[in-house]
Structure 1
């Protein structure tokens, strides 16, 4: 009689590989679904709700906020996904999952607005030009010219490429602490942007999203400070 095991082409070594691949597919599909949901919500809100300016006529703050905050959020999602997949600390994994889920949906919402407004997903020139005071002194963190510069600081709280590379090189407690440090600083920068957007955006849906960002990131920052203390870490300086 033929051995049933001999007829099964799947080996024990294939099981972890298949499980890992399934996990990647599931997370990828979930991320795409959240982005689509966010974009749909964004388009519906932009069509239906604004007391001060028609949805088709966004101001520079509305456009700049949606463009720059999408980029800012995307880095947070990238860092959170890495920590979620590589940390062994349940508290870090849960925090990273929550951040990635929330900000992925918000990215979809902002990209939905930009599509409706006929605007590019990223600004053509510098980042942060929309954060300007009436006297012309802005909060921008751009390169000082009309285009991108590799050496330019982009937005407040953003991690550099060197910092991202270091994050990917760490494991264990060092990974957890460094992730918390980078993400806490990232949230601090995002809070500055959200506060300005809430105070100066013309479209009600944009102000609502800015308020939602402040409401979610405030408690998350408190959680990260607590987790850092428990793991012997200190926050990174924030200008």
Structure 2
């Protein structure tokens, strides 16, 4: 079991390395060179910031999974948690491949020209992110109230994520990362509509 997991991790790491190398025009030959983005580039900034953004979405999804028995909400939460955990692994893997730090002294979203924006409060580091108080409240609710709270929080979270992903789609130079960002925009817009329908079914507005 452990050996199988290790092999899977190595294969995934190899796939990340190959995809990025190929995207930069590198190959498997001895003379191939990986062109690494700068630490302050949009590519690095997006990878760092979206990894943090995604981690909170995973956290919220696991919270609501334990606060409701509704299969529709639990299925959505599972899908979001799995998708964003996998994407987070790719983003952090690229930073490792590039030899770049996962943490920056610059404020979040500086790469988007938003470094001078007012800092988030109570743990909300970037647009759309929930505050610590909102996460605690979600953990206290149950049933329909938890479902509605989660759907509202995740709608706001996705909107912030779409904004950031659009920034990478316009600014990132690494093609495979830019394509990932474009895929995020499409998928999260679709989920925003799905969550609006789910809220309506529960007799609740988005906010």
**TM-score per shorter chain, which class?**
0.7 to 0.9
The change in CA–CA distance for 1:35 and 1:107 in structure 2 (over 3 A counts) is farther
Aligned with 2:137 (options 143, 150, 166): 166
Q: How many Å apart are 1:140 and its aligned residue?
A: 5.7
Render the CA deviation track for 1:164-207: whole Å, top value 9, x for unaligned: 00000000100000000000000000000000100110110110
Aligned position for 1:77? 58
**Equivalent residue runs for 1:107-122 within 5 Å:** 107-122=88-103
**Equivalent residue runs for 1:200-215 within 5 Å:** 200-215=171-186
Rg bigger for which structure?
A: 1
Aligned position for 1:22? none
The change in CA–CA distance for 1:187 and 1:49 in structure 2 (over 3 A counts) is same
Give the Cα separation in 1 of the matches to 2:184 and 2:13: 16
Aligned position for 1:58? 37
What RMSD, in angstroms, separates the aligned Cα atoms of the two structures? 2.6
Give the Cα separation in 2 of the matches to 1:158 and 1:228: 19
Q: How many Å apart are 1:139 and its aligned residue?
A: 6.5
Aligned position for 1:24? none
Give the Cα separation in 2 of the matches to 1:117 and 1:159: 30
User: Does the residue aligned with 1:189 lie in a helix, a strand or coil?
Assistant: helix
Relative to the length of structure 2, the TM-score reads: 0.84
Instruction: Give 5+ residue unaligned stretches, structure 2.
Output: 26-32
Aligned position for 1:182? 153
Instruction: Give 5+ residue unaligned stretches, structure 1.
Output: 1-29, 133-137, 144-148
Relative to the length of structure 1, the TM-score reads: 0.73
The change in CA–CA distance for 1:217 and 1:151 in structure 2 (over 3 A counts) is closer
Q: Is the 8 A contact 2:23 2:175 kept in 1?
A: yes
Q: Is the 8 A contact 1:167 1:175 kept in 2?
A: yes
Q: Is the 8 A contact 2:106 2:115 kept in 1?
A: no
Give the Cα separation in 2 of the matches to 1:141 and 1:36: 39
